[in-house]
């Protein structure tokens, strides 16, 4: 029988399979816990704290709770959330979560269920009401559960959704991506941003069918997962406007030229006359609500979280792609310019330029790639 041990993350005691603390790839059995996802959970606590600081009853639903790493941290570390609902199909994982709740003295605020995700979400809380915050962090794609998540969240509520099918969203399996997310990926130097925008497009379009609108407030990514936070509002008029934030990315794999457009089209690159690749349909609106991210920063994050959040506050996230510094240096056949130096030079030349929270070695700008090369040469 597998051995469970205590570990501490944040200010919360967790009971986890002992093997998960040493295994390179944690097993799903007897219960899943991934220590490497601590940054993911740290940022979520900051986001939920920023959201829950507003008035009104706050309930949290964790549909894939596992051993309760995220849900129990909410119960312990986000006191503004009054009730925490923990669900998983794995009864062993739920028993570990219950034991940890007792150790953290939060049993009175935690509710546990063993159920299929959509059944759990659509039942609502103990009063049959929707939840203030709904988290979806599945193994693989979240696509099949997005509809249930949106139906289970209150007006002006918050959803947090993880995708771990990164090979699909980054463009290794484009047909699967088109089937799951209704958009084509781009397997290029900014593929993780395209991936996040494909996920947001799916959520936005699903929401519009339900007469809901989404507003992304924060996103981040690693090579293992993509993570989005979005506020949801009931509004048929905003739902009608969904296509104002949906479009396409055109990318030239020959010269690196890229731009976004509202209409689908193939065409040739205006810079080198090579056929353009198409990414999307995808979300072309902003990725971060800077006031929301500032509230996350007010929660006294650790150095790693702070670095991500400070880049997000600065980011010109209405530009739906970025440029990597080494990509530009390769074209210039020179040593890599620092991101900060590139941004300074672009600002001096009158262009919009910023860091991006999605890649510490990259920058965003409204300058075309030929203008970037001219500024830096």
Q: How many angstroms separate the CA atoms of 238 and 140, rounded?
A: 30
- Per-residue confidence band for 2, with pLDDT thresholds at 50, 70 and 90: low
Q: How many angstroms separate the CA atoms of 183 and 177, rounded?
A: 7
pLDDT in tens, 186-214: 999 999 999 999 999 999 999 999 999 99
Q: How many angstroms separate the CA atoms of 65 and 33, rounded?
A: 10
* Sequential DSSP letters for 226-263: EEEEEEEEE-HHHHHTGGGGEEEEEE-TTT--EEEESS
Q: How many angstroms separate the CA atoms of 116 and 97, rounded?
A: 17
- Tell which CATH architecture fits domain 4-245: 3-Layer(aba) Sandwich (3.40)
Pairing of strands 258-261, 323-324: unpaired
- Mean of pLDDT values over 261-284: 94
Q: Residue 350: what are its φ and ψ, rounded to 5°?
A: 95, 10
Decide if pLDDT at 167 tops 50.
Answer: yes
Burial per residue of 275-299, b for 16 or more beta-carbon CB atoms within 10 angstroms, e otherwise: ebbbbbbbbbbbbbbeebbebbbeb
* pLDDT reported for residue 140: 93
pLDDT in tens, 156-166: 999 999 999 99
pLDDT in tens, 279-333: 999 999 999 999 999 999 999 899 999 999 999 999 999 999 999 999 999 999 9
Domain ranges of the chain: 4-245
Q: Which residues pair with 362 in a beta bridge?
A: 324
């Amino acid at each position: 029988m597998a051995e469970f041990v205590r570990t501490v993350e944040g200010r919360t005691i967790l009971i986890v399979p002992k093997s998960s603390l040493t295994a390179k790839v944690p097993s799903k059995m007897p219960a899943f816990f991934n220590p490497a996802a601590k940054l993911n959970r740290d940022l979520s606590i900051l986001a939920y704290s920023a959201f829950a600081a507003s008035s009104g009853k706050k309930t949290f639903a964790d549909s894939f709770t596992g051993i309760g790493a995220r849900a129990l941290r909410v119960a312990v570390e986000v006191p503004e959330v009054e009730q925490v609902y923990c669900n998983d199909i794995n009864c062993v994982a739920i028993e570990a979560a219950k034991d940890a709740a007792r150790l953290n003295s939060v049993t009175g605020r935690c509710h546990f269920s063993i159920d299929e995700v959509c059944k759990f979400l659509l039942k609502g809380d103990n009063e049959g009401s929707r939840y203030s915050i709904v988290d979806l962090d599945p193994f693989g794609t979240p696509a099949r559960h997005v509809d249930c998540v949106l139906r289970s969240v209150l007006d002006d509520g918050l959803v947090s959704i993880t995708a771990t099918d990164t090979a699909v969203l980054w463009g290794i399996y484009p047909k699967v991506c088109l089937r799951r997310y209704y958009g084509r990926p781009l397997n290029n130097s900014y593929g993780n941003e395209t991936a996040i925008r494909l996920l947001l497009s799916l959520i936005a379009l699903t929401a519009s069918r339900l007469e809901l609108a989404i507003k992304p407030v924060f996103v981040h990514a690693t090579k293992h997962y993509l993570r989005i936070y979005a506020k949801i509002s009931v509004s048929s008029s905003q739902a009608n406007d969904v296509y104002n934030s949906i479009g396409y990315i055109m990318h030239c794999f020959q010269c690196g030229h890229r731009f976004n457009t509202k209409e689908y089209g193939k065409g040739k690159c205006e810079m080198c006359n090579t056929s353009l690749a198409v990414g999307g349909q995808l979300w072309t609106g902003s990725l971060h609500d800077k006031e929301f991210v500032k509230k996350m920063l007010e929660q006294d994050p650790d150095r790693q979280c702070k670095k991500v959040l400070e880049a997000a506050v600065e980011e010109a996230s209405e530009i739906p792609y970025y440029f990597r510094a080494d990509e530009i240096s390769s074209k210039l056949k020179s040593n890599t310019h620092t991101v900060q130096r590139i941004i300074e030079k672009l600002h001096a030349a009158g262009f919009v330029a910023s860091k991006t929270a999605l890649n510490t070695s990259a920058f965003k700008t409204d300058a075309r790639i030929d203008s970037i090369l001219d500024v830096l040469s």
